[in-house]
């Protein structure tokens, strides 16, 4: 059997594409189609998730290119982060050398997969020519008032006397990765981007992101977590008025205690007079935020006045009240809030019901016992004096005025803490001077490059004495550099802009080109980035527009696709511990990149997960070999060329229509990212061509057009094999640059398509009921007007083809009925 040898053709076509600059895009392009995959973290080698992600993106980019679009399809490296420090530690090298090695081998793998990138635009976030712009942008953000110092809780190792990154804290006991000492929580000032300034816009603009999956938009909405409520002042002891935030102002008559967060200024004031409170706050500050004990709290001895009832209610300091949420103070209604209920039960505080279900609610008022459990739903007011009978909604409105409150909107979204106490990241371009405070590193001193890596317990930058000691840019006195580096999410918040002008050395990117080329038309990547990366990138884009750098582009990604997971054969997530992983490298070597790509794309639509299947791989592999064999047999003239049978012209006509229909169908499916459906259509076309050849002497022009169409439709997914077929058909241009087949569906196509389905069933019936007396006999006939029926042949058990004849009229009726 004549097949092709993937180990020979794949590298050859990769070289040819590269030499022909197929994937390079000119800077003077006005508005290329921007197709982007989330850049990989440089972990050492590609895994199947990468392969799927990049296959989808590459297939789409190739499809668009063949349709005549100029396509921007770049690739780069998310190359800062702690794993490189760990790897350097294990291998006794440094993070830079380790990372560069990873990049080289991952770049080779991407090339071996046949992915077509404009490598002239390659970038690596760990290079000073990239991260200097993180530093420059940090300063721009600071000028805009978007950078703040805020206290945040850090991991402190008392033995190493150093701050540890979260990843350096190990196990449930939370031990230092170096010395196994239990870590402590410490509040320290950190650098923050005030993303909360953009909370409302980040939320509102989600509505317009129609090219995004709904679940991602919903996850972002929840993350931003807008709550509309009210604030009302309570008089607390002799400490004056304290504002609370509530979304349930309707329940104010049921407030039976008042709670302050440990970090609330009034709690701190009380602590000055009250040792018990002081002690409580101390331990609360050290407690782990993740293991919240709702019952933890202490009575302050103070009382607050409920403005609705005039009642005095006890004031607690309680850990479940968060300092940086709302006002850091709340009135508690155990009857209608679960946490308040738990706290009240534990501390033996009254529980007073003030809301009961409405008549049309599922619950029966009689069944509700708030002593047992909180009733958290809206309803009708009771025990609320003159306000009894109001609905929760009416009460919420009314009480704002009634009790001198204010409407207030709160967001769950917190400011973005970007300080990391680790080496392999972008140094924050600040200098601390005892006299001047924090001073920016002047632009002419950027980039602040990382010093040599040293092996040390804490942050290597702290140990880099020479690097650290500088003169204050303002007063010239001895000063110290900031030794925190930036969260690597800063790197990935604008890399898509850098691709538009990666050589730019006067600014992070060329503002004009970025304005022309953005937004990204298609962004493909994992669902794990649904919130952080995508939210930060949206935030950056808005800020950059406010800095007049992207001319009105306020959203970075028009369409977003999250690829599903590739599971192991056992249906579990591929993982080292389950030892069910399939190495891309092995598949490339054994079957070739095209097989891997085709299998992945046929297995499921991009969003769905699927399990690895050796049979699927095998089927993709033999399909490619079979198409190629069909092509090369034709090229060598074995297929015959005459239209010499009685019905030859009619049959050719039918095949021609099927070719057009397949092109139309596959194009629509490609546009919708339903690659598996498109590929199914290609398989059907190939099978039709094969039957055509077996049944009669095919018309050369039609047959060749069929083969060329199949090759083109395969080209985005199996690009090397498609090039090979294209060359075999006598072309000397590249299929990657060839024109996509015309996609006009023939008239009446839909109706006829249904007929084909019916015919298939008819033929199956005939084969079953009549049986086939002479397996060698092939019946061919033509029903004018519905010619496709004739070629829709069934095979008998010996693999021979049988056909059926029907009268024109019957067919037309059937067709109309089916349609």
**Positions that interact with Zn ion (CB under 5 A):** 433, 435-436, 472, 474-475, 477
**Nearest CB to Zn ion, comparing residues 322 and 436:** 436
Least CB distance to ligand ANZ at residue 251 (A): 4
**Nearest CB to ligand ANZ, comparing residues 331 and 610:** 331
3-state helix, strand, coil in the chain (%, to 5): 45, 15, 40
**Buried/exposed 543-580: b ≥16 CB within 10 Å, e otherwise:** bbbeeebbeebebbbbbbbbbbbbbbeeeeebeeeeeb
**Nearest CB to Zn ion, comparing residues 25 and 433:** 433
Please check whether residue 419 is in contact with residue 191, taking contact to mean a CB–CB distance below 8 angstroms.
yes
**Nearest CB to Zn ion, comparing residues 472 and 736:** 472
Please check whether residue 584 is in contact with residue 109, taking contact to mean a CB–CB distance below 8 angstroms.
yes
Question: Binds 227, which of ligand ANZ, Zn ion, none (CB < 5 to 8 A, cut-off by type)?
Answer: ligand ANZ
Least CB distance to ligand ANZ at residue 250 (A): 8
668 CA to centre of own chain:
24
Binding site for ligand ANZ (CB under 6 A): 227, 245-248, 251, 261, 321-322, 325-326, 328, 330-331, 333, 336-337
Please check whether residue 33 is in contact with residue 72, taking contact to mean a CB–CB distance below 8 angstroms.
yes
Pairing of strands 794-795, 801-802: antiparallel
Least CB distance to ligand ANZ at residue 676 (A): 41
Question: Binds 294, which of ligand ANZ, Zn ion, none (CB < 5 to 8 A, cut-off by type)?
Answer: none
Least CB distance to ligand ANZ at residue 336 (A): 3
Least CB distance to ligand ANZ at residue 143 (A): 32
Q: What is the DSSP letter of 31?
A: S
**Nearest CB to ligand ANZ, comparing residues 158 and 385:** 385
**Nearest CB to ligand ANZ, comparing residues 355 and 537:** 355
Q: At what angle do helices 6-19 and 719-728 cross, to 10 degrees?
A: 90
Residue 621 and residue 299: Cα distance in Å, rounded? 72
The enclosing H or E element of 72 equals strand 71-72
**Nearest CB to ligand ANZ, comparing residues 331 and 591:** 331
Least CB distance to ligand ANZ at residue 288 (A): 17
Question: Binds 331, which of Zn ion, ligand ANZ, none (CB < 5 to 8 A, cut-off by type)?
Answer: ligand ANZ
Please check whether residue 118 is in contact with residue 23, taking contact to mean a CB–CB distance below 8 angstroms.
yes
Q: ω before 468 within 30° of 0 (cis)?
A: no
Least CB distance to Zn ion at residue 145 (A): 22
In degrees to the nearest 10, what's the CA dihedral of 262, 265, 270, 272?
100
Helix (H, G, I), strand (E, B) or coil at 19: helix
- Residue 279: CB atoms within 10 A of its CB come to 12
Question: Binds 337, which of Zn ion, ligand ANZ, none (CB < 5 to 8 A, cut-off by type)?
Answer: ligand ANZ
Question: Binds 363, which of Zn ion, ligand ANZ, none (CB < 5 to 8 A, cut-off by type)?
Answer: none
**Nearest CB to ligand ANZ, comparing residues 174 and 377:** 377
Provide the sign of the torsion angle of the four alpha carbons 215, 218, 220, 222, taken in this order: negative
Question: Binds 10, which of ligand ANZ, Zn ion, none (CB < 5 to 8 A, cut-off by type)?
Answer: none
Question: Binds 391, which of Zn ion, ligand ANZ, none (CB < 5 to 8 A, cut-off by type)?
Answer: none
Least CB distance to Zn ion at residue 476 (A): 7
Radius of gyration from C-alpha coordinates of the chain:
34
In degrees to the nearest 10, what's the CA dihedral of 789, 795, 800, 806?
-30
Question: Binds 501, which of ligand ANZ, Zn ion, none (CB < 5 to 8 A, cut-off by type)?
Answer: none
**Nearest CB to ligand ANZ, comparing residues 372 and 512:** 372
Q: Where are the alpha helices (DSSP H) in 324-391?
A: 338-347
The enclosing H or E element of 148 equals strand 147-157
Least CB distance to ligand ANZ at residue 141 (A): 27
Q: ω before 519 within 30° of 0 (cis)?
A: yes
Question: Binds 511, which of ligand ANZ, Zn ion, none (CB < 5 to 8 A, cut-off by type)?
Answer: none
Least CB distance to Zn ion at residue 482 (A): 14
Least CB distance to ligand ANZ at residue 148 (A): 20
Least CB distance to Zn ion at residue 480 (A): 11
Please check whether residue 804 is in contact with residue 756, taking contact to mean a CB–CB distance below 8 angstroms.
no
**Nearest CB to ligand ANZ, comparing residues 395 and 497:** 395
Question: Binds 472, which of ligand ANZ, Zn ion, none (CB < 5 to 8 A, cut-off by type)?
Answer: Zn ion
**Nearest CB to ligand ANZ, comparing residues 344 and 689:** 344
Least CB distance to ligand ANZ at residue 330 (A): 4
810 CA to centre of own chain:
53
Question: Binds 436, which of Zn ion, ligand ANZ, none (CB < 5 to 8 A, cut-off by type)?
Answer: Zn ion
Residue 195 and residue 148: Cα distance in Å, rounded? 11
Helix (H, G, I), strand (E, B) or coil at 243: strand
Cα separation values, 478 from 431, 432, 448, 473, Å: 10, 9, 17, 10
Question: Binds 475, which of Zn ion, ligand ANZ, none (CB < 5 to 8 A, cut-off by type)?
Answer: Zn ion
**Nearest CB to Zn ion, comparing residues 369 and 471:** 471
Question: Binds 261, which of Zn ion, ligand ANZ, none (CB < 5 to 8 A, cut-off by type)?
Answer: ligand ANZ
**Nearest CB to ligand ANZ, comparing residues 196 and 585:** 196
Residue 130 and residue 123: Cα distance in Å, rounded? 7
Residue 108 and residue 719: Cα distance in Å, rounded? 17
């Amino acid at each position: 059997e004549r097949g092709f040898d993937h180990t020979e053709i794949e590298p050859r076509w990769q070289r040819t594409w590269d030499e022909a600059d197929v994937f390079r895009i000119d800077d003077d392009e006005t508005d290329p189609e921007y197709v982007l995959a989330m850049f990989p973290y440089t972990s050492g080698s590609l895994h199947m998730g990468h392969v799927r992600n990049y296959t989808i993106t590459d297939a789409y980019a190739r499809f668009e290119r063949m349709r005549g679009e100029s396509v921007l399809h770049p690739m780069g490296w998310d190359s800062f982060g702690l794993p490189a420090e760990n790897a350097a530690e294990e291998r006794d090298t440094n993070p830079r050398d380790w990372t560069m090695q990873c990049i080289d081998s991952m770049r080779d793998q991407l090339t071996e997969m046949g992915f077509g990138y404009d490598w002239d635009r390659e970038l690596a976030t760990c290079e000073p020519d990239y991260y200097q712009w993180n530093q420059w942008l940090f300063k721009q953000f600071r000028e805009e008032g978007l950078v703040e110092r805020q206290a945040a809780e850090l991991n402190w190792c008392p033995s190493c006397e150093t701050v540890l990154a979260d990843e350096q804290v190990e196990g449930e006991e939370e031990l230092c990765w170096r010395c196994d000492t239990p870590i402590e929580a410490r509040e320290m000032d950190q650098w923050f981007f005030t993303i909360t300034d953009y909370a409302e816009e980040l939320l509102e603009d989600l509505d317009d992101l129609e090219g995004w999956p709904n679940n991602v938009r919903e996850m972002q909405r929840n993350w931003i977590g807008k709550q509309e409520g009210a604030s009302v002042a309570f008089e607390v002891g002799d400490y004056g008025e304290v504002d609370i935030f509530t979304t349930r102002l309707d329940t104010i008559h049921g407030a039976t205690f008042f709670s302050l967060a440990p970090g609330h200024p009034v709690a701190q004031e009380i602590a000055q007079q009250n040792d018990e409170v002081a002690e409580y706050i101390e331990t609360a500050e050290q407690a782990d935020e993740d293991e919240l004990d709702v019952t933890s709290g202490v009575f302050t001895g103070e009382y607050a006045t409920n403005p609705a009832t005039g009642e005095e209610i006890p004031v607690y300091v309680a850990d479940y009240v968060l300092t940086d949420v709302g006002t850091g103070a709340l009135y508690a209604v155990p009857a209608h809030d679960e946490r308040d209920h738990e706290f009240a039960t534990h501390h033996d505080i009254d529980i007073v019901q003030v809301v009961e279900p409405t008549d049309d609610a599922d619950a029966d008022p009689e069944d509700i016992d708030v002593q047992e459990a909180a009733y958290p739903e809206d309803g009708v007011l009771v025990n609320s004096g003159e306000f009894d009978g109001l609905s929760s909604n009416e009460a919420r409105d009314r009480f704002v005025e009634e009790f001198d409150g204010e409407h207030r909107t709160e967001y769950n979204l917190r400011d973005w803490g970007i300080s990391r106490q680790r080496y392999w990241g972008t140094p924050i371009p600040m200098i601390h001077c005892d006299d001047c405070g924090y001073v920016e590193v002047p632009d002419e001193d950027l980039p602040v490059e990382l010093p040599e890596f040293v092996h040390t317990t804490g942050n290597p930058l702290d140990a880099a004495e020479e690097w650290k000691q500088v003169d204050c840019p303002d007063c010239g006195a001895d000063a110290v550099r900031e030794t925190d580096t930036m969260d690597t999410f800063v790197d990935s918040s604008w890399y898509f802009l850098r691709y538009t002008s990666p050589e730019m050395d006067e600014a992070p990117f060329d503002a004009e080109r970025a304005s022309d080329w953005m937004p990204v038309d298609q962004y493909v990547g994992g669902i794990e980035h649904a919130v952080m990366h995508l939210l930060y990138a949206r935030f950056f884009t808005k800020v950059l527009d406010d800095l007049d750098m992207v001319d009105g582009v306020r959203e970075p990604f028009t369409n977003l696709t999250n690829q599903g997971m590739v599971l192991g054969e056992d249906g579990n997530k591929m993982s080292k511990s389950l030892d069910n992983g399939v190495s891309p490298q092995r598949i490339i070597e054994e079957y070739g990149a095209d097989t891997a790509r085709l299998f992945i794309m046929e297995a499921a639509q991009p969003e769905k997960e699927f399990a690895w299947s050796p049979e699927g791989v095998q089927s993709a592999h033999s399909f490619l070999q079979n198409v190629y064999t069909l092509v090369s047999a034709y090229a060598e003239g074995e297929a015959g060329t005459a239209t010499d049978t009685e019905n030859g012209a009619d049959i050719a006509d039918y095949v021609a229509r099927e070719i057009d229909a397949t092109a139309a169908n596959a194009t629509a499916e490609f546009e919708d990212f339903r690659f598996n459906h498109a590929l199914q259509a290609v398989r059907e076309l190939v099978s039709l061509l094969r039957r055509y050849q077996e049944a009669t002497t095919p018309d050369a022009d039609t047959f060749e057009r069929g083969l060329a169409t199949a090759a083109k439709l395969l080209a985005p997914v199996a690009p090397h094999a498609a090039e090979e077929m294209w060359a075999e058909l006598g072309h000397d241009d590249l299929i990657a640059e060839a024109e996509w087949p015309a996609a006009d569906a023939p008239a009446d196509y839909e109706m006829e398509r249904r007929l084909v389905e019916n015919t298939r069933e008819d033929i199956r019936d005939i084969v079953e009921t009549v049986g086939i007396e002479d397996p060698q006999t092939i019946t061919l006939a033509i029903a004018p007007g519905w010619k496709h029926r004739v070629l829709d042949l069934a095979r008998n058990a010996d693999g021979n083809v049988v056909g059926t004849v029907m009268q024109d009229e019957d067919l037309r009726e059937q067709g109309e009925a089916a349609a």
